[in-house]
């Protein structure tokens, strides 16, 4: 059970459960919440109609996994929202490192330009842990565990290399270019989604016009038959 709780705790931490609900949730409490959601879905299904035992089990599983689905969607939304902040962060870090600013000081200076609350709070917590414990490796690992984001993984690698060797400009350039490519891909995806929605609306409009024409024709034929 301890291993399961550890895995749940890692999942909750990496998918921003604390940011989503506003406090740290214990794995046992999360399991109870999953069971409550499953029971609620079963109760709702029973209210609206008779459900077999197999149907009740499926309803319970669907409801129980609903919180997990919500966390996955929330984390994906957070990652998309952090993309611009991470791009600006890499660029600002590169400029400050070129100017000879120490990487930790440069990271602290960048906090003022970050709009994502989840990212900003995590960076502030990282800086506090570094200043208090002086254990940079452990602080970075804890920071990395707070996200499930490949760009944050890259940031942690860059920070480690900058602290060890003092040189990470090339990696910052690579990370910056990678984020630009991702942003372009997301933009194209959104344009395609809008285009598909427009096409669906056009098809629905045409189908509605055809259905109306058919209905009017039927009514007209019916009135003609009544006359004869």
Give me the tens of pLDDT residue by residue for the chain, a chain 228 residues long: 678 888 999 999 999 998 888 888 889 999 999 999 999 988 888 887 756 788 888 889 999 999 999 999 999 999 988 888 888 888 888 888 777 788 888 888 988 889 999 999 999 999 998 888 778 888 999 999 999 988 888 888 888 877 766 555 555 666 656 666 665 655 566 666 566 666 666 666 676 677 676 666 666 666 655 555
Which residue in 146, 127, 130 sits closest to 138, CA to CA?
130
Does residue 203 fall inside a structural domain? no
**CA–CA dist 1, 194 (Å, integer):** 46
Task: State residue 225's pLDDT score.
Answer: 59
Q: Is residue 27 part of a domain?
A: yes
Does residue 93 sit in the same domain as residue 174?
yes
Residue 157: the pLDDT is: 83
Whether residue 111 lies inside any domain: the answer is yes
Per-residue pLDDT, 198: 62
Name the residue with tokens 């565990």.
145
Whether 194 is in a domain gets the answer no
Closest CA to 123 of 91, 152, 99, 162: 152
In a domain? residue 122: yes
Could you tell me if 41 and 90 lie in one domain? no
pLDDT of residue 2: 77
Q: Is residue 204 in some structural domain? A: no
Q: Residue 52, by phi and psi: left (phi above 0), alpha (psi -120 to 50) or beta?
A: beta
Domain span at residue 6? 2-64
How many domains in the chain?
2
Q: What is the pLDDT of residue 200?
A: 63
3-state secondary structure the chain: CHHHHHHHHHHHHHCCHHHHHCCCCCHHHHHHHHHHHHHHHHHHHHHHCCCCHHHHHHHHHHHHCHHHHHHHHHHHHHHHHHHHHHHHHHHHHHHHHHCCCCHHHHHHHHHHHCCCHHHHHHHHHHHHHHHHHCCHHHHHHHHHHCCCCHHHHHHHHHHHHHHHHCCCHHHHHHHHHHHHHHHHHHHHHHHHHHHHHHHHHHHHHHHHHHHHHHHHHHHHHHHHHHHC
What pLDDT is recorded for position 197?
65
Mark whether 155 and 91 lie in a shared domain: yes
Report the predicted TM-score, pTM, of the whole model to 2 decimal places: 0.71
């Amino acid at each position: 059970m301890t291993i399961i709780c550890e895995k749940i705790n890692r999942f909750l931490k990496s998918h921003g459960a604390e940011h989503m609900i506003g406090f740290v949730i214990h794995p046992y409490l999360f399991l109870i919440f999953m069971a409550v959601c499953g029971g609620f879905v079963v109760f709702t299904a029973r209210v609206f109609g008779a459900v077999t035992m197999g149907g009740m089990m499926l309803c319970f599983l669907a409801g129980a996994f609903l919180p997990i689905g919500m966390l996955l969607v929330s984390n994906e939304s957070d990652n998309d929202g952090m993309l611009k902040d991470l791009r600006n962060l890499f660029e600002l870090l590169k400029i400050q490192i070129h100017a000879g600013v120490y990487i930790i000081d440069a990271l602290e200076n960048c906090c003022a330009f970050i709009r994502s609350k989840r990212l900003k709070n995590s960076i502030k917590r990282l800086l506090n842990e570094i200043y208090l414990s002086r254990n940079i490796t452990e602080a970075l690992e804890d920071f990395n565990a707070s996200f499930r984001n490949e760009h944050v993984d890259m940031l942690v690698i860059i920070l480690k290399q900058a602290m060890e060797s003092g040189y990470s400009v090339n990696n910052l350039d690579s990370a910056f270019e990678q984020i630009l490519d991702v942003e372009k891909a997301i933009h194209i995806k959104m344009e395609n989604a809008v285009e598909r929605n427009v096409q669906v609306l056009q098809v629905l409009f045409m189908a509605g016009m055809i259905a109306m024409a058919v209905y009017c024709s039927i009514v007209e034929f019916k009135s003609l038959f009544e006359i004869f």
